[in-house]
Every structure is written in C-alpha cells, then in structure tokens.
Amino acid sequence: MLAFLLGVATLPPFVARALHSPVGDFAMFTRIDRYRLELSVLGPSGREAITRAELAPHLSRDAQLVVLPVGGDGFGSDQGDLLASGLGDLGRLLCELRPQAHLASVRLGRAAFARPEFTWRESLTDCSGAR
C-alpha cells in the first residue's frame, strides 16, 4: 500500500512531462530561449543605432537584467515574453531619448537555445505621435 501511495505521489509529474502536458508537469523551465534586442531611430540624418546601455539610466534594476543582458543575448522564455509585450513602450522611450527622431524601431529576435538563427519581431513607433 505504501508503494502504491508513493507511486501516486511521484509519478504524475514524470508522466505529464513525458506526454508534454502542462497539467501536473512541475518543471521549473519548459524551454530555454535566447533573445536579442536591436534598437534604432530614424532621424534627419538617417538611421541611427541606439545601444542598450543608453537605456540603463531609464530602467529599473529588474528591467535592466532583462533589457541589458550581459554579453548581448539574454536567456529565458519568460524574459522574452516580457520584452515582446513591451516593444511599444521601448519605442516610446527611444522617441523621448531622441527628440529629433521621426521613427523608432525595436527588434526582438528569439531562438531556441541550440539554434543559431533568430525569428525577428519588429515594432515601429511614430515619434511624432509618441510625444
């Protein structure tokens, strides 16, 4: 009876993991993603790349860990999801940092950990409407 109770308590997470079911799967990470953020503005003198470091004074300590990862590429699917939902906000911040800009571009590339190629998503912000 004790072995049966032990099996009922310990087997469901392993079975859920094997069946790729989110119900009962108590894994901390479902997958590890890489992400890369590229920032630029279009102004009177053309396209200008913005370094992520320029954003540091305008971000909270926690936001810096996600937006400004050491080495350029960040890791984590949750962090990538957070960035994807805030691309427009980052575009508005770029417009405020570069008041002469007409357009801000924020590109987020995401890839599985072992894959070299990124899938890109871009958000364009009209700076005349963002001010």
Comparing 8-22, 85-99, 113-127, the range with the smallest average pLDDT is: 8-22
Give residue-wise pLDDT tens across range 68-90.
Answer: 887 778 888 888 888 999 999 99
Per-position DSSP letters for 45-84, written without gaps between them: TEEEEE-GGGGGGGS-HHHHHHHS-TTS-EE-HHHHHHHH
Beta bridge partners of 40: 49, 105
Name the pTM for this structure.
Answer: 0.73
- Residue spans per domain, the chain: 1-30, 31-130
Interatomic CA distance for residues 84 and 32, integer angstroms: 16
What is the pLDDT, as a whole number, of residue 30?
Answer: 60
